[in-house]
Amino acid sequence: MQYRRLGNSGLKVSALGLGTNAFGKRADYEASKKIIDYAIDSGINFMDTANIYAGTESEKIIGQALQGKRQNVVLATKAGLVRGAGVNERGSSRFHLQTELENSLKRLKTDYVDLYQIHTFDPETPLEETLRTLEDMVRSGKVRYIGASNYFAWELMKSLGISDRLGLNRFVSTQVSYSLADRTPEQELIPMCLDQGVGIIPYFPLAGGILSGKYRSADLAPQGSRAQTDPNFKRFINSQTIALGEKVTDLASQFDTTPSVLSLSWLIQQPVVSTVIVGATKMEQLEENLKSVSLELNAETKKELDLISSPYRYGEPFALYRLPV
């Protein structure tokens, strides 16, 4: 396994991380535990979850599965998206964040999280309030590092400026949709992160399965695929994205590998990326995706991948989670 610093921090994280959105939803406890155990045994030390994944079940499963192994992982969770109908059950106010952190710690069966992330920008809460709250969490020992997610470049830069001005801990990382099918972060966010020493943690690195090459038709979804289980996902399946998946598949065949492994390898080798989180519903998926860490791409292959994915540097992001107005 390769390990990198998370942004400019001293924290080392595995090049491939484990995403746990499916735990408690498409993977039950037994399947999830097998995946977690296999990930740790394979050298993966970064594990990402959130207070809303599978209606809190993801955190509960992780907390139970990590008993006796907590010290082996860099555990990350998030808060900020809508948790309930109450007016204070969303956002990044001190009130909401402190409540959610305590609840996450209970579910995760731990007294600290290594990385606490604001799930999305909150336009109704002053950034200074959010950042001072996170500072207090770090000083209390309940949080070790802080990160952002789904922030626009200007929102993240403003946050860093406030932290610098007030002498507060800075965001060391940010999560964003980033893949061969979504290169929009390269316009503003990534240059800013390279300049400021913020690590990128891509989510949807395979664009929900589009880059696995399994979608051959906009109307026919493979059994058990995201397009079948989530009807809203079908909006991403069109002739252009299918064509991209086919081109990546053709290129992967030259390396005698899968399009998923090739796509993940391209991401891992981006200089701004600290760790790439991949989800799994069964151990075999993770076993296959781990091959991406050791796959070295030559300059010609990188150029070809850049070329076929260049249209996806522009337009709308593949995914972006914001608070409803």
Distance CA 77, CA 199 (A): 16
Identify the DSSP state of 273.
B
Distance CA 93, CA 203 (A): 25
Name every residue whose Cβ is closer than 8 Å to that of residue 198 and which is 6 or more positions away in sequence.
Answer: 7, 8, 156, 160, 170, 171, 172, 173, 174, 192
Instruction: Name the token pair of 288.
Output: 């296959």
- Nearest-CA neighbor of 297 among 325, 241, 255? 255
Distance CA 202, CA 185 (A): 10
Distance CA 228, CA 217 (A): 13
220: left (phi over 0), alpha (psi -120 to 50) or beta: beta
Distance CA 242, CA 207 (A): 11
Query: Dihedral of CA 176/178/183/186: which sign?
Result: positive
Pairing of strands 143-149, 171-177: parallel
Catalytic residues: 53
Count, residues in the chain: 325
